[in-house]
C-alpha cells in the first residue's frame, strides 16, 4: 500500500518537480524483473554473443532440429532402399543357385538311369 501511495504521489506531482529516481523507485516496487544495468558504453551490450542467441536462439534451434530430423529421414530411407536392394540380390543369387542344383541333380539322375540300362 505504501508503494502505491508513493507512486501516486510521484505521478500526481508536476513533471519538473518529480525526480526520475523517485519515479523509478516507486515503479520498481511493481516490477518483478531485475533492473537492467547500463554500462558506460551502451553499444557493448548489443555486441555481446549472448544477445544474439537471446534474440535468434529459437530460430537457430528450430533450423538445427529440422536439419537433424531431415537427415535422419533421408538416412533411414537410404538404409531401407539399400537393404531392399541387398535382399533382392541375395534372393536372385539363391534362385540361380537353386536352378543350378536342380540342373545338376537332373543330370546326375539322368546319368544314373543310363548306367542302369
Q: What is the pLDDT of residues 67-110, one digit of tens each?
A: 999 999 999 999 999 999 999 999 999 999 999 999 999 999 88
* CB neighbour list of residue 76: distance below 8 Å, 6 or more residues apart: none
State the number of CA atoms in the 13 A half-sphere of 16 facing the CB.
0
Q: What is the pLDDT of residues 42-69, one digit of tens each?
A: 555 567 788 888 889 999 999 999 999 9
Cβ–Cβ < 8 Å for 29, 7? yes
84 CB-contact burial (10 Å; exposed 0-12 / middle 13-18 / buried 19+): exposed
- Taking the whole predicted model, whether its pTM rises above 0.75 is answered as no
Amino acid at each position: 500500500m505504501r508503494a502505491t501511495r508513493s507512486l501516486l504521489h510521484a505521478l500526481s506531482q508536476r513533471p519538473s518537480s518529480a525526480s526520475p529516481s523517485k519515479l523509478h523507485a516507486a515503479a520498481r516496487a511493481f516490477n518483478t524483473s531485475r533492473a537492467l544495468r547500463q554500462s558506460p558504453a551502451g553499444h557493448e551490450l548489443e555486441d555481446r554473443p549472448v544477445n544474439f542467441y537471446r534474440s535468434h536462439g529459437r530460430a537457430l534451434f528450430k533450423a538445427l532440429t529440422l536439419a537433424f530430423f531431415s537427415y535422419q529421414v533421408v538416412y533411414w530411407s537410404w538404409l531401407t532402399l539399400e537393404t531392399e536392394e541387398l535382399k533382392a540380390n541375395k534372393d536372385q543369387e539363391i534362385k540361380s543357385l537353386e536352378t543350378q542344383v536342380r540342373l545338376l541333380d537332373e543330370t546326375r539322375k539322368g546319368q544314373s538311369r543310363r548306367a542302369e540300362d
